A and B are shown apart, each in its own frame.
Chain A
């Protein structure tokens, strides 16, 4: 394993902003430049021990942060993106997908499954920002609904972690419809009286924020995550003004009443468990 896993800038094909945390032995915090040893990073739930910067991590690391050891079962891994529109921009969508599958070993921009949080069974999904910017296409929508259905069938809560730039452009209107599809499913969960907890991580924008991400019975955000409908650059171009410091960050959303709490990744499992215990503890019937 390399000490630092850093690719040469010349051959990198996605901007640094599109990537998740690299898997080297040592990692440099992008905020305070502290060099952090891998083991220490793990112990701190992939946050900087010095400045609390929350690294962008994918589903595998969230599973290790949230679920009881040995309780996790992944589902629907074989559901893969197709290219229904034969979409070609500067490169064919098929080629982008092929590259993303081989580079990341991820089952698309979402991983779903079931596990236990302090013994409580939970149906779960988590987006992978490292897969085409965590963009929501048909696969994300379908797997969201299937994961949620497992919650319905086992009468357990549904927890979903968002990390996405929005809808996947290469699936055009079909990706737009995933907003409606996922939101429609959540009405079934609500009718069944089962809790849906939405966890927002950096970044949660576009069509994902304007559908299931903002529909949680309780919404939890990680510190300083970018959360919004329009991206900051688009807003700056529209209003021709510089945006204020901290605009569209978790703390800003908390202040404006858009999320219930901002929780450090250290405490995520505990907070989640407490909220779920309350919501599942009502006397029914």
Chain B
């Protein structure tokens, strides 16, 4: 995918790529073919070097990359026969959360996820992936549907947070999220959670309780975004890098504290550099996870799920 937006730390790569392109455009390409090949190898080495040593803040930037695949991209490329279902039957349809019925192989599933937009217009439509209460209530409705028809649930998490708006508060943002946590904790079908981009706080968790918590290599998940954390604890927006470090919000960090079960590797350079490869990996991981969960009885599933969350936390006594 041609990227029109380069992250700061990728600039050395882009410089080299430009140089290669220039050389290719020269009349007598044959003569310098060895040099071009040498440079290409250099680019690959540089890229894997940079991506092996990403800071936490750099990962946050990759998680927010405008070309990164979103929920509907995964639904389109990893699932089949998708039927989108709309509305919370109460107030309105929230485009910041999408969901519906789909298949993966011969397994029928209910799929739900946060949805961001890719340009100004679609971002306004999707509210930048920030749900209102009706989004969580639509998800609630789809989870009930899943339970009634014995369909496993797949949730893709990717939100900068639940929308902090006046009407959102009036309509009970807190209650809408709380109600989903309660419902998902005891839902009688398997639930797979995949954090694909940004997992910001209660807005992400509101569709994020499940049997297996999977996370893309360059996604982030925490109680607050690094910028907001910086503004509250450092009383300035300038400490986002330090905040990202302190929050330990990357996939490997969350495996360490027992929150994330499995990291899904991304192509070198991030999911947006090779979406096809990303979709192939995602599909095979989902199939594998579904088949493991499918062999567990319903009551065991719920008991294990609750125990999983009871075990989260660190204290002394």
Residue ranges of A at the interface with B (Cβ–Cβ < 8 Å) = 76, 78-82, 84-85, 87-90, 137-139, 141-142, 145, 167-169, 171-181, 183-188, 191, 206-207, 209-215, 227-230, 234-235, 238-239, 241, 243, 247-248, 256-258
Q: A179-B202, A184-B306 are in contact. Are A172 and B317 (CB under 8 A)?
A: no
Whether B164 lies near A138 (C-beta < 8 A) is no
Question: Nearest residue in A to B313 (C-beta to C-beta)?
Answer: A138
Whether A167 lies near B223 (C-beta < 8 A) is yes
Query: In the bound complex, how far is the Cα of B177 from the Cα of A209, in angstroms?
Result: 9
Whether B182 lies near A178 (C-beta < 8 A) is no
- CB < 8 Å neighbour of A176 from B186, B201, B239: B201
B209 at the interface (CB under 8 A from A): yes
The 8 closest A-B pairs by CB, nearest first: A138-B313, A230-B164, A184-B185, A183-B181, A84-B314, A209-B174, A89-B233, A187-B186
Whether B181 lies near A179 (C-beta < 8 A) is yes
Question: Nearest residue in B to A244 (C-beta to C-beta)?
Answer: B166
Question: Which of the candidate stretches B1-9, B81-89, B243-251 sits at the interface with the other chain?
Answer: B243-251
Measured between beta carbons, the chain B residues less than 8 angstroms from A169 are 223-224, 229, 232-233, 247
B212 at the interface (CB under 8 A from A): no
Chain B 28-46: CB-based contact to A (< 8 A → 1; otherwise 0) = 0000000000000000000
- CB < 8 Å neighbour of A90 from B174, B234, B316: B234
Whether A215 lies near B178 (C-beta < 8 A) is yes
Question: Nearest residue in A to B233 (C-beta to C-beta)?
Answer: A89
The number of inter-chain residue pairs (CB within 8 angstroms) is 198
Whether A207 lies near B201 (C-beta < 8 A) is yes
Whether B313 lies near A141 (C-beta < 8 A) is yes
Query: In the bound complex, how far is the Cα of B229 from the Cα of A88, in angstroms?
Result: 12
Whether B222 lies near A145 (C-beta < 8 A) is no
Whether B166 lies near A79 (C-beta < 8 A) is no
Measured between beta carbons, the chain B residues less than 8 angstroms from A180 are 181, 185, 205, 208-209, 309, 312
Query: In the bound complex, how far is the Cα of B302 from the Cα of A136, in angstroms?
Result: 25
Minimal beta-carbon separation of A180 from chain B (angstroms): 5
Whether A79 lies near B317 (C-beta < 8 A) is yes
Whether B314 lies near A82 (C-beta < 8 A) is yes
Question: Nearest residue in B to A88 (C-beta to C-beta)?
Answer: B246
- CB < 8 Å neighbour of B170 from A81, A173, A209, A256: A256
Whether A172 lies near B223 (C-beta < 8 A) is yes
Measured between beta carbons, the chain A residues less than 8 angstroms from B233 are 89-90, 169
Q: A172-B223, A184-B209 are in contact. Are A80 and B173 (CB under 8 A)?
A: no
Measured between beta carbons, the chain A residues less than 8 angstroms from B223 are 167-169, 171-173, 175-176, 207
Q: A179-B202, A213-B178, A235-B164 are in contact. Are A173 and B221 (CB under 8 A)?
A: yes
